[in-house]
Amino acid sequence: WPLLGLALAGLPTFYVNSVTSKDFPLTLALLLGSYLLARSGRAVWAAVMFGCVVGSRPVAVIHGLPVALVLVAAMPKPLRLLAFLQFFVGSAAVAAAIYVPIFLKLGPDNLREPYRLAELSASLVLHRGTILVWGVLGLIALGVMVLGACWRRGPRAVGAAASPAERWAWFISAVFGIGFYVWLPSEPGYCIPALPFLLLLATQWTSRFALQIGCVLMMGAAFLGQDFRSPGALIVDRRERQAELLKVRGFTAFCATLPKPGVIICGSWEPIISVLDLASGGQRYTFLLAPDEIAQLIKTRTPIYYTPEMRAFEFRVHNIDLVAIGATDVRALYLKGQQP
């Protein structure tokens, strides 16, 4: 079992998301905790934990079905209906306690996903869901486990087989995780909820030796690149974040020199600027602008600045062309200032 935990931690997308502020590993930890409590028949505590799962990531509510399946199977028949009701009501109550204050303060629009993805090629979706999730070593490890299941000569990976309810629950959670990624393939991290359940399913069919070899390979997957010589996803991610930080600092330094203070649409750089307190020159940075915000800024004649990437993003999300409303391209201003 410790090898399985280390194997999961070593997978590229899990490792990378564990050293950033993403909520994928947190959601998964809470989900596994809910599974564990359900397995021991502790309906109320499983409900509390699962309510926190939904509070961490709303779409994770779909995993309530397999968790409830494990809980009901763990209870004596006369108590199954009561346990299910306790789980359902308790989870809903905890999730409501988390979301109602947000709903009252910000309204219902903040409880939905407002962004439409640009069309992604099938090859890119496949690359993100395989190489970026598992790494080359991880995919080799999966192959070893499959071979160990097809030609098992020794004992299975674990001594006692899981109950049918648990197997079905693991399978359903794995399918939900993969299915959500296929539906919204914007980040490899959306595959994370499927990873531990695929490993758990492997323990039921592959041999112990194959599982051990596979786990050891997965532990190094984040450090080794596709050609076995280039740096792995974790090292590349660190370099990219360091380079991005230099760009953000240069961007904010230039924006501080703009002639008029205004609102600068900067997308995913906004949290970085906010956390590092890089705003200066009276400028306000924002992820995107909603139509009512834009109308208010136009009314008060507050300058709006953007980058070309954010112009496309704003149009895709809110169907607003920033050029048409008189916003200013920051990059054009910068390039103009660089001319001799």
| Digitized pLDDT (tens) for each residue of the chain, 340 residues in all | 899 999 999 999 999 999 887 889 999 999 999 999 999 999 999 999 999 999 998 889 999 999 999 999 999 999 999 999 999 999 999 999 998 988 888 776 655 554 555 567 888 888 888 989 999 999 999 999 999 888 877 666 676 778 899 999 999 999 999 998 988 888 888 999 999 999 999 999 898 889 999 999 999 999 988 777 888 889 999 999 999 999 999 999 999 998 889 999 999 899 999 999 998 888 999 999 999 999 999 999 999 999 889 999 999 888 999 999 999 999 888 887 655 5
Burial 190-217 (b: 16+ CB within 10 A, else e): bbbbbbbbbbbbbbebbbbebbbbbbbb
pTM comes to: 0.79
Q: Return d(Cα 254, Cα 107) in angstroms, integer.
A: 35
What is the side-by-side order of every strand in the sheet holding 263-265? 284-286, 263-265, 304-306, 328-329
Adjacent-strand bridge partners of 207: 156
Q: Return d(Cα 200, Cα 327) in angstroms, integer.
A: 53
Q: Return d(Cα 17, Cα 132) in angstroms, integer.
A: 12
